Amino acid sequence: MDNIVLEQLINLGLQKNEAIVYIALLELGKGTVSEISKTAHLNRTTGYDILERICVYGIANRSTIGKKRIYIAEPPSRLKSLMAARKFKADKDLGKVDDILPDLQSLYKTDLKPSIKFFEGFDGINNIYRHSLEAKETIYSILDLEQYLPELDSFGKEHIKDRTRLKVREKVLARKSEKAIDFYKSTYKDNKARQNITEYRWLEHKFPFSPAAEVMTYDDKVIGVLFKPGEKSAFEIQSRSFANSLKVLFETVWEQSKPV
pLDDT (0 to 100) of residue 152: 76
CA 240 remoteness from chain centre? 25
CA distance 137 to 168: 8
Q: Which parts of the chain are beta strand (E)?
A: 30-31, 60-65, 68-73, 115-120, 139-143, 170-175, 198-203, 214-218, 221-226, 233-238, 258-259
Residue 208's pLDDT band (boundaries 50, 70, 90)? confident
The region of weakest confidence among 82-91, 222-231, 240-249 is 222-231
With residue 40 as reference, give the H or E element that holds it: helix 33-40
Mean pLDDT of 47-59: 93
- Percent of the chain surpassing pLDDT 90: 55
For residue 197, give its domain range. Answer: 115-259
Q: Calculate mean pLDDT across residues 186-204.
A: 92
Q: Is residue 13 located within the same domain as residue 138? A: no
**Which has the minimum average pLDDT: 17-21, 129-133, 137-141, 225-229?**
225-229
The DSSP secondary-structure symbol of 138 reads P
Q: Is residue 151 part of a domain?
A: yes
**Pair 221, 140: CB distance under 8 Å:** no
Q: Based on DSSP, count helices (H) and strands (E) in the chain, helices before strands.
A: 11, 11
C-alpha span between 16 and 6 (Å, rounded): 8
For residue 96, the one-letter residue type is K
pLDDT level of residue 149 (50, 70, 90 thresholds): low
Question: How sure is the predictor about 2, in pLDDT bands with cuts at 50, 70 and 90?
Answer: confident
Whether residues 141 and 209 share a domain: the answer is yes
How far apart are the C-alpha atoms of 127 and 243, rounded to whole Å?
20
Q: What's the pLDDT band for 259 if we cut at 50, 70, 90?
A: confident
Query: In this predicted model, what pLDDT tens digit does every residue of 156-194 receive, in sequence order?
Result: 889 999 999 999 999 999 988 888 899 899 999 889 999
Q: Which of 16, 43, 73 is the last residue of a domain?
A: 73
DSSP state of 148: H
Same domain for 148 and 51, yes or no, is no
* 231 and 124 part of one domain: yes
For range 53-61, the mean pLDDT: 93
The model's pTM: 0.58
CATH of residue 249: 3.30.870.10
Same domain flag for 156 and 239: yes
**Which three-class secondary structure state does DSSP give residue 206?**
coil
**CB-based contacts of 244-249 (< 8 A; 24+ apart in sequence):** 246/140, 246/215, 246/217, 246/222, 247/140, 247/217
Phi/psi for 187 (5° steps) reads: -100, -40
The lowest-confidence range among 26-40, 93-107, 177-191 is 93-107
Which of 13-22, 125-134, 207-216 is predicted least confidently? 207-216
Structure confidence at residue 111 as a pLDDT band (50, 70, 90): low
**How high is the mean pLDDT of the chain?**
89
Shared-domain flag, residues 149 and 69: no
Work out the end-to-end distance of the chain between its first and last CA atoms, rounded to an integer number of angstroms: 56
The CATH number given to whatever domain includes residue 58 is 1.10.10.10
Identify whether 150 is preceded by a cis peptide bond (ω within 30 of 0). yes
**Same domain assignment for residues 189 and 136:** yes
Return the top range by mean pLDDT from 53-57, 64-68, 227-231: 53-57
Split into its structural domains, the chain has a count of 2
Q: Are residue 132 and residue 221 in the same domain, yes or no?
A: yes
Same domain, 244 and 121: yes
46 is a domain residue: yes
Task: Establish if 107 belongs to a structural domain.
Answer: no
Residues 169 and 234 occupy one common structural domain: yes
- For residue 130, pLDDT over 60 is answered with yes
